[in-house]
Structure 1
Amino acid sequence: MVTAVFAAFACSAPAHAQEGGDTDGFLSSLWNKTTFNALVRADFSYRTTSFQNPYNQNNMPFQDVDVPRQAYVPPALSTGLVNNALGVLGLPGLNIAQPLDWNVPIPGFSDTVKRSDFIPQNDTEYNYNTLRFTGEMDTKFTQNLRLNIRLRGIYDPEMYDLFDANDVSGLQGGIKGGGGDRYADTGKANLFEAKGRNGRNLNPLEIAGRNYMIDLPTFIVNYKTGPFDFRFGNQQIAWGQAIFFRTFDVANGLDYRRHLVIDRAIEEYEDERVSKIALRGTMQVTDTMIADGFVGKFQPDIVGNPNTPFNVVPAQFYRPLDNYYTGNYDTKIDYGIRMKADYGNWGYQAMAVRRYNPLGVFHWTESGINDGLYGGLLGNIVESAYALKLPNCGALYNPSTCRMYGSVGEALSHTPLTIAPAGVYSAKEWFSSAAGVRLDGFDMVNTIIKEYPALQDVFASEVQDPEQTAHLLNTFFLGAGGSIRGNVARDYYRENVFGVGGTYVTSADPSSFLDSIILNLEVQYTPQRAYTRPDLSSNPIKSDEFIFTAVAEKWYRYTQAFPAAYLVFQYQHRTDSDLVGLNLRGYGGNARNQEYRPSDGLGSADYFVFAGFQPTPNRKFIFEWAFLLDAEGGLLAQPNVRWNPGNDISVDLFYNYVDAGAWGSGRSTLQRAFDYADEVALRFTYTL
């Protein structure tokens, strides 16, 4: 699209000017003031261990394990209704003497389930493979006015076997649509599209298909006059320069679709920031003071789709329905200001930003999918019992004897649960998957039942402990005829973010390592920040958060034979959330050891970074490294060798080593979310 425009302009502009006989006219003058540059890049990463993404269909918890399931009599299902339903089906009635509390098994209704008997298997060797073109055009109309456009095109040749929902279309009616655009769930895994509930692109300046995307990360008009610098258009506003950390860098969200957060770390989120349409103005107030402010259209974080290599949302759930448009968040504005000043060896900065948190809050939502049960005899009993309840009881409604809807399927369409294959198949899988994404499998069930009365209408009732929860869940899975899929949505909350920071440059003997170290301290404070609850309630956690970041960086020349090395040490303390903004309350769950509920979570999180690079004397090679350490025991290590053979070619070879439990249990670390991602990565870049 824009590439073609660039090419056509490049080829035709001089000729057009010559045809008109005015080589010194407007077009030729404009051409002489325009520069073009571009690069092509190929990225590949190869998995070096047997571990695969545990949030995708081929590697779910208990994927290849036989798990027993037993059905129990629902307490909300009165004995009379049970016996009436059995009588309709010509079966003998039950004589239940003890009170019902998800403790009475239904004889003959049990089985053993293994997910791999239903879900096609694959073994993904590659984690990441893309081909990329980036082109940039800069036109300087006058001394004060210029236009800058950057186009990015990415294509994934799909050198991996992706899950296809069509492969399970013959089970439980297949993975169905409804309740919103289900573009990422009902066909082959979708690598790039990112849409709201209504089917519109979350990024308005992006064209994307299942395995390609084209966007304009930069499209700005820049005007400078005197001490003022104004930039209007689609842009990144990078107020922070830390590796892995974002304290002042709050203007833009992040795009996790491509290589999550384990791309080349030294790039400092250059490829991950989500551009926004904004007006940014910078003013040189004095020789030592700058004021920098912006007003821009709110743009959310973009998370990966189910069954893509770096997906972080369990694929037994539908992709979260994004309310960006249906909630009118696309009309919301973010704005903020930052002041920076220098005084000798000291520097100061402060910011105030009013924004919508781009990560948002995830919560249960109605599925909008009307489908009944596929559980054979047990499913027929439940549907018959439901049909025997009295319709339209009004004020006299009682879930044991009355019903609000015409069928079980209609009732379920008003709950977050959908009868479909490739969902959750057992209580053990439910608890384990929940713990893996820092959710509380026990509270999740009670929250659905309390917040969605339609679930009580189909005989669900609150549970008192994990054992009862397991009985309820397995009963529902058996009645469903296999598995049940969950439905969640994302909403966004406004917040005020304040920050202060100070910088000091040390002075010592010029030959000393202690000379010219840049020390930087940044503090962020956000009152009443909204977070996703571990039970996925629609009522988010709200708490005041403090983030403290300390950075020491230095250029140091070990020997005159080598250029100076760049070294940076970082530390960050967070009081309420982890490095990507998820609340710490859900940390600590481990259902594989029958610890069905997470601990009380973490009271705070601490992270350390050591990174840098060292060029060789001829700069043909650059050795880079980046280490991210979670104080709870997680490690991400990324050594990199960059080779510059000449002829505008560069080659990066780096390794991502991830260990969620370098020490400790590994249950309460950031790295737990991508512990599977040990890989060797190769990047080839050619600058045109």
Structure 2
Amino acid sequence: MRDRGNGSNRWWSIALGATVVVAPVMSARAVDISFSGFVRQEVAAGISGDENPFNTQGNKYNGVTVALNPLIAGLPTTATRAARSTDNDFNLFATRLELNLDAAFSPDLKAHFTLRGYYDWNVYDDNGDTSFFEAPIRGDDRGSLLEINDNDYMVDLPAAYLDYSNGPLFIRAGNQQIAWGESIFFRVLDVPNGLDLRRHLILDPAAEEFSDKRVPALGIRTSYQVTDNWEIDAFVQQFNPSINANPSTPYNVIPDQFTVHDRYHEVDGSWNVGGRLRGQMGPLGVQFMATSRRNPDGIYRWTKSGGSADLPGLPGSGAVLAETPFQVDPINGVLSAQEWFDYATMVRLNGTAGLNAAVDDFQPFTGLLGAFNAGNNHALAGQELDTFFALSGGLRGHIERIYPYENVFGFGANYVFEDEPDTLFDQLIARIEMSYTPDKKFTSPSLSQRPIESDEWTLALVLEKYYRFTDEFPATYMVFQYLHKSESDLFGRNLDGYGGTAERDPTGVDGYNAFALAIQQPSPTLEWRFDLTVLYDLRGGALFQPGVKWKPDDAWQVDLYSSIITASDDNKNALSTLDFASEAFLRVTRQF
């Protein structure tokens, strides 16, 4: 569940954004205008046989009787979640329309405008009135500024900007995405924009490198070619956070037992700034980057529920619960300590520390209810939790997302090797990308009001090569990467929350490490392209993504891919969070 905002005119912002581009076009006398676009059907079918466990309808404990061990005699000693019968064949069934307008007012001044419409046909067995696109970030439940949406559709302007160039100077002003860095899976230098995960999470073809995911925002970007070999690039852009998949939707990864209160309204006047210097010295290319921004992913912590029914038999207790992070909810809440600890480890939280933080950070109200800090005693924490679950019949937790400032510094270098023509090492590109974020704030595994704060290093080592194995086929494109993060995983979760189970609290791990491989092979006629991408987590998880693209002519394209996720079930790797989402997906595109 998400806490939602409200607004009045749902079309105002997108109409205003269109006017920025359309008005100059209409008033210009001699403008070269071109239109293009496509319509696409997108379908993903699950192949794991598992429902999403983070949704109420897919909860692991539906229909399961669990023993309770409350501290108070006479309370119920078992709990059973209502059995939900769900059988979803599809993870995605949506239609997309994109329209592009390009206008050239002069050789120096141009405009670009993209209108994107996306409709989800909602063919899923879900939890009722599910919203796929409403996001409680901006007014009218918009995820970004130039967007309108409803439960089943969204329409936005991912691009609406003017380009001005004059000799070595280039300026882009308007709604735009800024893409830095070239690593797949890892966003080492690609830090200006957050990600919109409402459309197919991160399971698009990996080679597309988040091109459809970056959240656009109003800004000005400028670059200046100082010499033939050196360029300065800088931007100022309104802050817009990442947008998560909504509760009870197929790709939701925040358990439905939580209500998330987004605090973007507290920082909606913030702007991110950044710059980079790029240079070429013979075969060696280098870049230096610095960005001051609000973390678009945010951090999560307990917050007041703001309202609750009374605990049965305890009149007035609802008013006290309203000052704590909990509310009575026997339908979508947590019903047992077993469920509490199990789901905490699934999202890399610490169930015992989470209880203690909720108790300590919301005194005296938690104390009035008889709650206490259980220390490091996992068993005692379980008894305390079972006491309150038995009293209430189920509790929902409330958390908030806030956006701390951070400074990110980065460095990149690439070197082109030369060898005998047509050998494996000739024109081999070696690349390194690394970033450093001092005093970075992370969500604490306890959801404490005090986030974890530590310096983080992120590194990608990349080898990239086009190589022709036979004269009968075009060159094969190959990429090999090593990925490392010092403090968090692929999804930005602090590593202190790793390694727990329902029976024991997490012990944490040191560093996140992974390898990635990407291969692309076109057919002799270029009508077909065969892809394989692999991400391997060194602690026991892997994502395999084979695929094929068929383009019989300029108008039609068919993409058929599969994302196969396998992971050790020990909560020590990042990918086990997504192992329910293995799927085959098809995209049929008609371009015009």
Match of 2:485 among 571, 574, 579: 574
Distance 1:201 1:111 in 2: 44
Measured after TM superposition, the shift of residue 72 of structure 1 is 2.2
> Aligned partners of 1:66 and 1:322: how far apart in 2?
34
1:458 matched to 2:369: yes
User: Which of 581, 589, 592 is matched with 1:677 structurally?
Assistant: 581
Query: 4+ residue stretches of structure 1 with deviation over 6 A?
Result: none
Aligned to 2:320: 411
- Partners of 1:283 and 1:560 in 2: CA distance: 42
User: Equivalent residue for 2:195?
Assistant: 254
Aligned to 2:208: 267
Give the Cα separation in 2 of the matches to 1:258 and 1:121.
25
Where does residue 212 of structure 1 map in the other structure? Answer: 153
2:297 aligned with 1:359? yes
Q: Please tell me whether residue 549 in structure 1 is matched to residue 453 in structure 2.
A: no
Query: Aligned pair 1:123/2:87, yes or no?
Result: yes
Residue 422, structure 1, aligned to residue 332, structure 2 = yes
Distance 1:61 1:440 in 2: 19
Superimposed CA distance per residue, residues 121-144 of structure 1 (whole angstroms, 9 cap, x where no aligned partner) = 311111111100011101111111
Deviates more, 1:558-567 or 1:634-643: 558-567
CA distance in 1, matches of 2:69, 2:457: 47
Name the CA distance, whole Å, in 1 between partners of 2:28 and 2:296. 42
One-letter amino acid matched to 2:586 = L
Please point out which of 610, 628, 634 is paired with 2:535: 628
The answer as to 2:60 corresponding to 1:40 is no
Say whether the 8 Å CA contact 2:445–2:496 is kept in structure 1.
Answer: yes
After the TM superposition, which of the residue ranges 568-577 and 56-65 deviates more from structure 2? 56-65
Q: Is the 8 A contact 1:70 1:109 kept in 2?
A: no
- Superimposed CA distance per residue, residues 198-232 of structure 1 (whole angstroms, 9 cap, x where no aligned partner): 76524111101011001111011111111100001
Question: 1:137 matched to which residue of 2?
Answer: 101
* Change beyond 3 A, Cα 1:509–1:647: closer
Q: Quote the residue 2:391 is aligned against.
A: 479
1:499 to 394, 410, 418: 410
- Of the candidates 252, 273, 287, which is equivalent to residue 335 of structure 1? 273
Question: What is the rounded CA distance, in whole Å, between the counterparts of 2:398 and 2:576 in structure 1?
Answer: 23
**Superposed CA offset, 1:136-176 (max 9, x none):** 10111111111111111000001111112xxxxxxxxxxxx
Structure 2: distance between partners of 1:511 and 1:143: 40
TM-score (norm 2): 0.94
Q: Which amino acid aligns with 1:634?
A: G
- Taking only the aligned residue pairs, the percentage that are identical comes to 37
Matched, 1:110 2:110: no
Q: Is the 8 A contact 1:370 1:412 kept in 2?
A: yes
- Partners of 1:215 and 1:498 in 2: CA distance: 31
Letter of the structure 1 residue corresponding to residue 405 of structure 2: R
Q: Secondary structure at the match of 1:622?
A: strand
Question: Aligned partners of 1:436 and 1:63: how far apart in 2?
Answer: 17
- The answer to whether the aligner puts 1:511 opposite 2:422 as a matched pair is yes
State the aligned residue count: 573
What is the root-mean-square deviation of aligned Cα atoms in Å?
2.0
Q: Distance in 1 between matches of 2:164 and 2:422?
A: 43
Matched residue, 2:51: 52
- Is the 1:336–1:354 contact (alpha carbons within 8 Å) kept by the matching residues of 2? yes
3-state SS, counterpart of residue 468 of structure 1: helix
Deviation string, structure 1 residues 73-113 (Cα, Å, up to 9, x no partner): 3xxxxxxxxxxxxxxxxxxxxxxxxxxxxxxxx1x322422
CA distance change for structure 1 residues 615 and 552 in 2, over 3 Å: closer, same or farther?
same
Shift of 1:352: 0.8
Preserved CA contact (<8 Å) 2:430 2:463? yes
* Bigger-Rg structure (1/2): 1
Superimposed CA distance per residue, residues 456-497 of structure 1 (whole angstroms, 9 cap, x where no aligned partner): 1112122241221121111111211x2110000011111111
Q: Which runs of 5+ in 1 are unaligned?
A: 17-25, 74-105, 165-187, 374-378, 384-406
Q: CA 1:366/1:602 → structure 2, altered by over 3 Å: closer, same or farther?
A: same
| Aligned counterparts of 2:283 and 2:373: Cα–Cα separation in 1 | 62
Secondary structure of 1:503's match?
strand
SS of the counterpart of 1:673?
Answer: helix
User: More helix per residue: 1 or 2?
Assistant: 1
Q: CA deviation at 1:281?
A: 0.2
SS in 2 for 1:40: strand
Q: Which amino acid aligns with 2:125?
A: D
Secondary structure of the corresponding residue to residue 479 of structure 1: helix
**One-letter amino acid of the counterpart of residue 131, structure 1:** T
Distance between the aligned counterparts of 1:427 and 1:203, measured in 2? 38
Q: Is 1:438 aligned with 2:348?
A: yes
Tell me which residue corresponds to 1:528: 439
Q: Distance in 2 between matches of 1:621 and 1:268?
A: 20
> Post-superposition shift, 1:370?
3.6
Quote the Cα distance in structure 2 between the aligned partners of 1:588 and 1:603: 11
**Paired AA for residue 473 in structure 1:** L
Does the alignment pair 1:159 with 2:123? yes
Q: CA deviation at 1:70?
A: 4.1
Distance 1:138 1:556 in 2: 36
Q: Using the TM superposition, give the Cα deviation of residue 455 of structure 1 relative to its aligned residue in structure 2, in angstroms.
A: 1.3
